[in-house]
Structure 1
Amino acid sequence: MEPTDPTSGLPFIDEHQVRVAASAATTWDALVAHVARTRLGVSSGFAHLVGTEPRGATGTLPQEGATIPGFAVAESVRQERLTLAGRHRFSQYALIFSLVERPDGTTLSARSHGSFPKLPGVLYRGLVIGSGAHPFLVRRMLRDISRSAERREAGQGT
């Protein structure tokens, strides 16, 4: 049986990318470490407030099925793609990280999909997407991962 596509039926929101002066292997390690360390900014308080599913952390990232508050690993292909999916009262969403190794490093991208049903969802979308907060935070996250990967590649640690 084929795995279910977590983006199936979810409208595309946006995509951001950054060039990383590091190998795909090093960029992957920095990506996984960033997700594990930051939980993508979803605190347990926020997870409880909006009713995220999944609610807590289980398993070991980046294994498929592992979770952090608000996200489950739907797909994990080392050095190529990490797909996180989740939902809460106002939205169902997926965040897909893709890595493409190039001669001069790696292109790391983050593609977002989401649906925001009914009036509360529309209002939430306006607050998060329409305000510019989402693109700002995704670009900052990609820059942080890039810097971490480049430090790792240079042998300076995380």
Structure 2
Amino acid sequence: MAAPEPSSPAPDLPLLDEHRIAIDAPRDRVWAGLCRWSDTLGIGDRHPLGLLLGTQPRRGFERVELVPERVLGFAGRHRFSRYRLTFELAEITPVRTQVTARSNAEFPRLRGRAYHALVVGSGAHVVSVRRMLNSIRRESLKD
């Protein structure tokens, strides 16, 4: 499958944070788990939050980067932010893989700064990313 062309937002968005998790599984298995999990990323097309925020795409994320067994990137935007979420896989040992989740985002204008305070300042973003990584771990360890 060819990698999709990068779209808005640009990959040069400011770094928000990075989180890592080590998974006791080979990289190909973690990649499969990440891909299964990524099918659930975002919100439903009719979810009220998407309408309230004005998410583009409607689910909140679109795949913008794919390097098999190495990188899977998503991007999106809404009224208060442009953002990118990138997952990178690195082999620690043949049976242990590190997954790095990198968030880049910008929060323009006063409303964007208020949204940043609400979502990032409250710690909700960190909780959300940790849940994502733990979900990826569970998917990777399924038989």
Q: TM-score range by the shorter chain?
A: 0.7 to 0.9
Bigger fraction of residues in helix: 1
Identity %: 40
Q: Distance in 1 between matches of 2:38 and 2:52?
A: 21
User: What residue is the counterpart of 1:7 in the other structure?
Assistant: 11
Q: Distance in 2 between matches of 1:85 and 1:128?
A: 17
Matching residue within 67, 86, 90 for 1:96: 86
Q: Deviations over 1:97-129 (max 9, x none)?
A: 000122141000100000000011000000110
**Counterpart of 2:132 in structure 1: which amino acid?**
M
Q: CA RMSD in A?
A: 1.5
Q: Deviations over 1:51-85 (max 9, x none)?
A: 11111xxxxxxxxxxxxx11111111111000101
Calculate the TM-score normalised by the size of structure 2.
Answer: 0.87
Which stretches in structure 2 are left out of the alignment for 5+ residues?
Answer: none
Q: Distance in 2 between matches of 1:82 and 1:16?
A: 15
Q: How is 1:98-113 mapped onto 2 (pairs within 5 angstroms)?
A: 98-103=88-93, 104-113=95-104
Q: Distance in 2 between matches of 1:54 and 1:144?
A: 23
C-alpha deviation, 1:48, in angstroms = 1.3
Q: Distance in 1 between matches of 2:120 and 2:97?
A: 27
Q: Deviations over 1:9-39 (max 9, x none)?
A: x1110000000001111111111111213x2
C-alpha deviation, 1:147, in angstroms = 2.3
**Counterpart of 2:75 in structure 1: which amino acid?**
A
Q: Distance in 2 between matches of 1:101 and 1:128?
A: 32
User: What residue is the counterpart of 2:72 in the other structure?
Assistant: 82
**Counterpart of 2:11 in structure 1: which amino acid?**
T
Q: Secondary structure at the match of 1:123?
A: helix
